[in-house]
Amino acid sequence: MRERVLNTAGFPLTGAVVAPARRGTERLVVRAWVNPILRWAFYAFVFSIIFEGLPIGIPLELTQITGAFLLLAALLQPYLCFRRPPAAFWCFVAYLYVGVLSLAFHNVLSDEDARWKVAVFAQLIFMFWIAYNLMRHQRVARGAVLALIASSVLLSVLQMVGLALPTISHRVLVDRVASFGLDPNQMACILSFGLLALISINYGSYSSTLLPRILVWPLYILVAATTVQTGSRGGILAFAAGLITLLLRKGTVWEKVRNALVVLLGIGLAILISLQSEVVRNRFDKTVESGDLTARERIYPAALQTFLEEPLIGWGIQINTDEIEARAGLQNYEHLDAHNLILYVLTSTGLLGAIPFLAGIWLCVRGAWKARSGVYGSLPFAMVITLLVADMSASGLHWKHHWLILAYALASGDNPPVTRLPPVNASQNSRAERRVAATA
């Protein structure tokens, strides 16, 4: 008897481990096979996130088109994309449910902006489910990371040659750079993921043969320079936190020393590039000298007061931004975001929605932590830490990359989907199984 590893297309996997057992029987270990159309649809969606606001001549965002294509491609393998959702998914659904209950409690379900925001959150949570199921497969996860690197590099090149389309904002950005509909904090966060992936995928066990290591540091400098141009203090600090987190990967002494040297080089280059930016220096100087946090010093107390007035169920999704605006007293803000993920969740759904939401976040972080000793290394954990640190200065619930990174973190801690069939007598195998056995 032996154990054969097959994929769902019926072909043996290269490098399958064959274990001896009773003669005349065999155990099949079936690994799921991801349709190439589905894989590339997912890669296209990941790649398009940073170009969300690219004008394409029709009243649709690029991510809406790639997202729709991904949903259609998911129908090719519904048993894979729509398998039983993880516990974290239900935690986020519970948050959304409480958010709708809160709107009903305050009798504002008819608010058009609130209903639109609820629909957006529902779509993002649904995307989180599909992305999680896809990125449980190492090949798909690795392709998504490469797509993230490619989009970050392309945006940086377009920015360098002056072809990037600047984001138009009703508030002056004061020399801060943002392109393709992204705000500076959002753009800095996405580029930080590209920087982390660029280092980890070439120096960790999750390595790539597509990008020679000699190109890593020039591309790193290019993307880092674009990140600094955003002038995002939160984004830069979040990247620094994620970069340090890469040191937590398990491995030999040599691997730990090498990773430490790579991280120190990355930090040194990032600091050097940041010091060349007058915008970044001035913004950090204002923070240190006068406590200027770009109105956050007024927003945070207003958000806390908003929560304390409705601590159990909150004010409802999107309505909470109006309540914060009324208490902060700032001009030129129609819907004032809490600029902090925890404060946003607390003001929108109170403790009743915050508890399951934070439980879902914890499950994602735990999954990334478990993955450190595996093929993914510390990259998922570094990315989710970067995301959460960035969310402390800009609540990113409406950002697509927020849910993508959470899905990646959660999926990295799961073993690849495997179905083990009980031992059967070789004479009872189907004709197809006997043909596969002959080629194994």
Q: Of 84 and 13, which is predicted with more confidence?
A: 84
pTM (two decimals):
0.84
Q: Do 399 and 435 fall into the same domain? A: no
Nearest-angstrom CA–CA distance, 244 and 240? 6
Domain that holds residue 411: 34-416
Quickly tell me which residue has 């909470």 as its tokens.
320
Q: Do 383 and 437 fall into the same domain? A: no
Nearest-angstrom CA–CA distance, 49 and 44? 9
Q: Do 228 and 344 fall into the same domain? A: yes
Q: Do 72 and 16 fall into the same domain? A: no
Nearest-angstrom CA–CA distance, 379 and 323? 38
Question: What count of other Cβ atoms lies within 10 Å of the Cβ of residue 139?
Answer: 12
Q: Do 350 and 432 fall into the same domain? A: no
Q: Do 92 and 122 fall into the same domain? A: yes
Mean of the pLDDT values across residues 330-340?
80
Q: Do 62 and 75 fall into the same domain? A: yes
Q: Do 195 and 296 fall into the same domain? A: yes
- Dig out the tokens for 175 from the structure: 């020399």
Nearest-angstrom CA–CA distance, 159 and 381? 29
Q: Do 66 and 155 fall into the same domain? A: yes
Q: Do 161 and 276 fall into the same domain? A: yes
Q: Which of 345, 376, 374, 377 has the alpha carbon at shortest distance from 361?
A: 345
Q: Do 104 and 93 fall into the same domain? A: yes
pLDDT digits (tens, 9 = 90+) for 158-212: 988 888 888 765 454 556 777 888 888 889 999 999 999 988 877 665 555 556 6
Mean of the pLDDT values across residues 36-43?
96
CB < 8 Å & 24+ apart, contacts of 245-252: 245/378, 245/381, 245/382, 245/385, 245/386, 246/196, 246/199, 246/200, 246/204, 246/378, 246/379, 246/382, 247/378, 248/372, 248/378, 248/381, 249/204, 249/372, 249/377, 249/378, 250/372, 250/373, 251/205
pLDDT digits (tens, 9 = 90+) for 82-116: 999 999 999 999 999 999 999 999 999 999 999 99
Q: Do 99 and 11 fall into the same domain? A: no
Residue 121 near residue 398 (C-beta atoms within 8 A): yes
Please count the structural domains in the chain.
Answer: 2
